[in-house]
């Protein structure tokens, strides 16, 4: 796209970020997201929603693989974080 005369707009960037998130390339999506302002664009609610959705999907997958034994430091940290924010209680 950069080699052609076509100039991407915010919609094109948002679609690319969405595709990267859906393919599990979250790091690449975040890099592209950070380039938006360099390219002269201000991310809008749709762009943020796409990236947040990708982060949520990756986090959900990671949490499903989290060991749930009582001695797990990761589970204790997550439980403490949720308790501190009073959003979610982890059993």
The distance of Cα 14 from the centroid of its chain, to the nearest Å, equals: 13
pTM metric for this prediction: 0.69
Q: Which residue has the tokens 């308790």?
A: 83
Q: pLDDT at residue 1 above 80? A: no
CA pair distance 51, 80, nearest whole angstrom = 25
CA pair distance 42, 10, nearest whole angstrom = 8
pLDDT digits (tens, 9 = 90+) for 45-61: 999 999 999 998 888 77
Domain map (residue ranges) of the chain: 10-66
């Amino acid at each position: 796209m950069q080699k052609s005369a076509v100039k991407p707009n915010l919609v094109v960037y948002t679609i690319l970020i969405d595709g990267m998130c859906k393919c599990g390339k979250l790091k690449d999506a975040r890099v592209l997201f950070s380039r938006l302002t360099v390219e002269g664009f201000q991310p809008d609610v749709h762009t943020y929603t796409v990236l947040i959705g990708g982060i949520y999907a990756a986090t959900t997958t990671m949490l499903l693989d989290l060991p749930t034994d009582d001695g797990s430091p990761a589970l204790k940290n997550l439980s403490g974080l949720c308790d501190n924010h009073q959003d979610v209680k982890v059993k």
